[in-house]
Structure 1
Amino acid sequence: MLFQDIRDYQILFLSLFLCLGIGTRDWTLRPELIIVAIATCLLTQGMLSLFRDQGVKALGLRSALITALGLSLLLRADHWTTIAIAAVSAIGSKFVLRVGDKHVFNPANFGIITALLFTADAWVSPGQWGEDWWYGLLFFGTGGMILQRVGRWDTTAAFLGCYSLLEAMRNLWLGWTWDVYLHRLMSGSLILFALFMVTDPRSIPNAPIGRIVWAMCIAILTFILRNYLFVPTAVFWALFMLAPLSILLDLLWLAPEFSWRQKQEEG
């Protein structure tokens, strides 16, 4: 039934964000590329699920749709083939790059990095949401509803807390005014990342202490890449580079693996 699964809310909110971005931010989004992303993710998920599970009923189409919406929100390209490459790579990573039932990489993030590395027309616009405060309230409100049910608020809090502290220390060291500090933190894309990408329960550590350590490491690497190597897409590269650390932290701190089915039954 609709909205019994937590991912149904995630799909609804991400779809609303996509419509909101098109309607209020005047993004140069081409509807055909969104269709390509969704169709390619669903088709790839269906084919690989049938091949791996030999006709199992649960094809994981919710997960594929969430990945497609994430790609549509964050990735830009001039040609549909680039979007298709990102979508196939994103879904394929879930089946190939995994340890047990866990993904090594966040699928959408893996697709974005693949497109940036291997195509000539892909880019990510971290500032596409601008810095309007009401976007942040909207994201925190909707994202908070999902994280409360999934139980991954600690990851978001650790990432944003560590990153904001580092930015505050740098701001004080350089003697800048606090409006500069707020300017660097009030980014819709940063908040979206913290709420919906760095908290993916299938690709982050299982134990709470592991999630906190992992999120803080990503925040530190993001800070370094952004401020000292001047990488505008630092958060995506940091998540990609440190994704395998999640597997090591699971070995260090043992905890039950996350299950969408279990969460659905609990709800």
Structure 2
Amino acid sequence: MLFKDIRDYQILFLASFLILGIRARDWTLQPQLILVLIVTCVLTQWSLSLVIGQLSAKEQTISLRSAIITSLGLSLLLRSDHWETMAFAAASAIASKFIFKVDNKHFFNPANFGIISALTLTPDAWVSPGQWGEDWWYGLVFAGTGGMILKRVGRWDTTAAYLITYAGLEAIRNIWLGWTWDVFWHRLMSGSLLLFALFMITDPRSIPNSKIGRMVWAACIALLTFILRNYFYIPTAVFWALFAIAPLTILTDILWSAPRFYWSSQGSVTSDQ
């Protein structure tokens, strides 16, 4: 294989999506803000790993790949006109991995935590869920690249549980209201929704360890997404749902014990050694 670590492919794909969005969708992204996100994520990861690593023998070696993935995720989703907001989001995202942990496992998705922190604690951050539009070929690109990564890390069940639950709820609502099926497909054919389902809720280091735990967890996120989107009219429902349900990981890991996921230089491992 070209890359030994599957995260290298993830970095390549996310960077490609970023270029695609700028070129094909005419996103008004400022290059300097992307640079701020990358530099802040990498420096925060390095400094906190160094400091906390001196205090805990269990701390993993410094992983800059994860920091770059987080920065690219923030670049794809978060918008602001000020570098200070982006730096705050990036620092919050990485810091959450070191602060919010149980048994040395973090349960918040870093990029999602950074997004929620910026939305709630700064005056000029926003997310544009419809930035990808509803072109079907974006879905094929995301499904193909995301599928390759999920096959390696073994987390297809999480994406499937989320999409099947959410699609089922939207279908029931569509039938109940007597709408035509083009409305249903309009609700599902969203590049941002697929990007979220394939790349954000499948982070193997922060989601439940067991398969049944992941499926229950993902279904809960889908249910809350549906409620927030359709009854509270929150356009960023997916991010709030993930943030709210993330701590449920602690409970699912207690109820359904399974080996924990670790990254290795050769790709991925599921072991508690």
TM-score (norm 2): 0.95
Runs ≥4 residues deviating over 4 A: none
**Is 1:207 aligned to 2:205, yes or no?**
no
State the 1:59 CA deviation. 1.3
In structure 2, how many angstroms separate the alpha carbons of the residues matched to 1:147 and 1:101?
Answer: 24
Which residue is equivalent to 2:181? 178
**3-state secondary structure, aligned to 2:235:** coil
State the 1:52 CA deviation. 1.4
Q: Which deviates the most, 174-183 or 66-75?
A: 174-183
Q: Give the gaps of 5 or more residues in structure 2.
A: none
RMSD: 1.8
Which residue is equivalent to 1:41? 41
| Native 8 Å contact 1:76 1:122 kept in 2 | yes
Which residue is equivalent to 1:243? 246
Change (3 A) 1:262 1:78: closer
Which residue is equivalent to 2:15? 15
In structure 2, how many angstroms separate the alpha carbons of the residues matched to 1:181 and 1:26?
Answer: 27
Q: In percent, how many aligned pairs have the same letter?
A: 71
In structure 2, how many angstroms separate the alpha carbons of the residues matched to 1:49 and 1:265?
Answer: 20
In structure 1, how many angstroms separate the alpha carbons of the residues matched to 2:30 and 2:46?
Answer: 25
| Native 8 Å contact 1:36 1:80 kept in 2 | yes
Q: 1:228-248 CA deviation, whole Å, 9 max, x = no partner?
A: 000000000000000000110
Q: 1:118-167 CA deviation, whole Å, 9 max, x = no partner?
A: 00100000000000000000000000000000000000000000000000
In structure 2, how many angstroms separate the alpha carbons of the residues matched to 1:185 and 1:57?
Answer: 38
Which residue is equivalent to 2:52? 52
In structure 2, how many angstroms separate the alpha carbons of the residues matched to 1:247 and 1:58?
Answer: 23
Which residue is equivalent to 1:128? 131
**3-state secondary structure, aligned to 2:208:** coil
The 5 Å alignment of 1:57-206 reads 58-206=61-209
**Is 1:257 aligned to 2:260, yes or no?**
yes
State the 1:188 CA deviation. 0.3
| Native 8 Å contact 2:166 2:222 kept in 1 | yes
Q: Give the gaps of 5 or more residues in structure 1.
A: none
Q: Considering fraction of residues, name the structure with more helix.
A: 1
How many residues align? The count is 267
Q: State the AA in 2 paired with 1:180.
A: V
TM-score (norm 1): 0.97
In structure 2, how many angstroms separate the alpha carbons of the residues matched to 1:102 and 1:204?
Answer: 10
Q: State the AA in 2 paired with 1:113.
A: I
Q: State the AA in 2 paired with 1:163.
A: Y
State the 1:2 CA deviation. 6.7
State the 1:102 CA deviation. 1.6
| Native 8 Å contact 2:159 2:198 kept in 1 | yes
